Every structure is written in structure tokens, then in C-alpha cells.
Amino acid sequence: MAGECDVGVACRTICSDVVGVVTGENQRRTGPCVVTWFWVSVHQKLLKGRTADEMVTSDTPGWYDRVMLSRCMRVNITKQILGFCGIKTKKYRHIAVVKLASEKEIQLWIAQARVDGVAAAKRNASKALALAPAK
């Protein structure tokens, strides 16, 4: 029998499908099925195989982020946001103390972003050519 839930027929159908995926068989289930559905959807990683380059700006100095905060911004973005979807990070750049930056530093960051963007575009173009079907 399909999983049971207080929500209704649509939820019973989802529960039945999800329980079958999780356990390998259809079995009776009581209570809300949202947790089971969420568990399966998390592990699907719908954007698996994609990559990202991260560039994060903040007013927290890099040394303080590493020593005191255990790189919490990097972990949050890389693992909890992008990793949740299946995206792997190729490059991470932390641009720090933006509030006190001079015009020269800002121009340097923009130039670095341009170089990183060109490198990522070349990397993605070569990957696309390798995956393109032969004529």
C-alpha cells in the first residue's frame, strides 16, 4: 500500500514513489512524508557535473575569516549552497576589506575578476567542444 499521510492523495502518491526509491520496495508508512521526499531530493543533486568559480567580497579581513570564523563564508557557499545542488567549486577568491579599499585596489580586483572570467570561459569552451557530437 502507498505511504499514508494527512495531506491527501497527491502526497500518498509521492510517498509511495519515494519510499520505493529509498527502501527498494513499497511499504506502508505513517506520518508526514515530507521528510522522506526531502531526503531523496537532496541526494539527487540536480546540477551535478557543473562547476563554479566563486568570488566573495566582504569587510572581514582574510586572516580573521580563517582564524576566528573557520572560513564560514567559504563553507556556506561551497558546501551548503552550491554543493547542495551538486555544483563543484573550481576556484575560490576572497576579496576582503572592501569598505577601506583604495581605487587602485578596486581596479586590481576588477582586473583579477576579468582574468578569472576569461580563464573560466576558455575552460568551459574547451569542455563544450570535447562534449560536442562529431559531424
Average pLDDT over residues 19-27: 42
C-alpha cell at 120: 573560466
Residue pair 28/34 in contact (Cβ under 8 Å)? The answer is no
Residue pair 76/94 in contact (Cβ under 8 Å)? The answer is no
pTM above 0.85, yes or no: no
pLDDT in tens, 47-58: 888 888 999 999
Average pLDDT over residues 32-56: 68
Q: List, as one string, the DSSP characters of 75-131.
A: HIIIIIIIHHHTPEEEEEEEEE--TT--HHHHHHHHHHHHHHHHHHHHHHHHHHHHH
pLDDT in tens, 91-124: 999 999 999 999 999 999 999 999 999 998 888 8
